[in-house]
């Protein structure tokens, strides 16, 4: 029993050392997925706890960053499923009385950066969780397709196709939003 206790202390220290390098990334992933700071903080805390509890099963030869990102994604997807309040921009606009205009290519690029970033955040939040996590991992976190496939335990081809569809979806959202801002509504 004494030997086991000693190894448990070392495991906590080891975990802290590894997790400290990834704490910003974990929080960022949770923020991009959840959209709200409070929810992101909760999910980030939950991610760290789950990762620590599962630390014994972490293979030392694998990437800790990929491994903990996967846990963060699972935590956020579970939280989003429980939340069930994610609505699409279309629904927001319809509720507020905006009409969906025809798409105008290039409108997003013509907006100011500050506005673009705001629209981008909203656009990402409007995506379904499965598409959102593709955008977050590939385009926000900059993970490679191989790393994403490893983290989500998906075939590489599936990852590429989902990323592509997520980007299309996001671009559509931004086109509509950009049109909304670039051309005032009636």
Instruction: In angstroms, give the least distance from the CB of 15 to other proteins.
Output: 6
Q: Is 99 exposed, middle or buried (0-12, 13-18, 19+ CB in 10 A)?
A: exposed
Stretch that binds other proteins, among 19-27, 65-73, 87-95, 148-156 (CB under 8 A): 19-27
**Considering beta carbons, is residue 76 or 174 the nearer one to other proteins?**
174
CA dist., res. 51 & res. 53, Å (int): 6
The encoded tokens of residue 51 equal 């990762």
Q: With binding defined as CB under 8 A, does residue 181 bind other proteins?
A: no
Q: Which 139-178 positions form the footprint of other proteins (CB under 8 A)? A: 139-142, 144-145, 167, 170-171, 174-175, 178
Four-residue CA torsion sign, 57, 61, 65, 69: negative
The H-assigned helical ranges of 35-144 are 37-53, 64-83, 89-96, 107-110, 113-126, 129-135
Of positions 34, 79, 107, 149, contacts other proteins by CB under 8 A: 107
CA-CA-CA-CA torsion for 171, 177, 180, 181, nearest 10 degrees? -100
Asked if 64 touches other proteins (CB under 8 A), the answer is no
Binding letters toward other proteins, positions 80-99, x by CB under 8 A: -xx-----------------
What phi, psi does 173 have (nearest 5°)?
-60, -40
Identify the residue among 49, 54, 100, 156 touching other proteins (CB under 8 A): 49
What are φ and ψ of residue 107, in 5° steps?
A: -65, -35
Instruction: Report the residue from 34, 72, 89, 135 that binds other proteins according to the rule CB under 8 A.
Output: 135
**Chain positions contacting other proteins, by CB under 8 A:** 5, 8-9, 11-12, 15-16, 19-20, 23-24, 27-28, 31-32, 37, 41, 44-45, 48-49, 52-53, 81-82, 105-109, 113, 116-117, 120-121, 135, 138-142, 144-145, 167, 170-171, 174-175, 178
């Amino acid at each position: 029993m004494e030997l086991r206790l000693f190894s448990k202390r070392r495991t906590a220290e080891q975990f802290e050392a590894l997790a400290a390098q990834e704490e910003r990334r974990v929080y960022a992933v949770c923020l991009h997925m959840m959209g709200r700071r409070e929810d992101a903080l909760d999910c980030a805390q939950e991610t760290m706890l789950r990762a620590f509890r599962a630390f014994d099963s972490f293979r030392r030869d694998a990437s800790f960053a990929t491994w903990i990102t996967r846990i963060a994604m699972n935590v956020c997807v579970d939280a989003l499923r429980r939340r069930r309040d994610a609505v699409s921009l279309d629904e927001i606009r319809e509720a507020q009385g905006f009409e969906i205009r025809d798409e105008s290519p290039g409108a997003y690029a013509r907006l100011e950066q500050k506005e673009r970033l705001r629209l981008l955040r909203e656009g990402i939040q409007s995506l379904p969780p499965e598409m959102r996590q593709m955008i977050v991992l590939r385009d926000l976190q900059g993970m490679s397709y191989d790393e994403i496939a490893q983290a989500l335990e998906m075939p590489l081809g599936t990852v590429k196709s989902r990323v592509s569809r997520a980007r299309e979806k996001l671009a559509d959202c931004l086109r509509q939003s950009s049109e909304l801002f670039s051309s005032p509504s009636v």
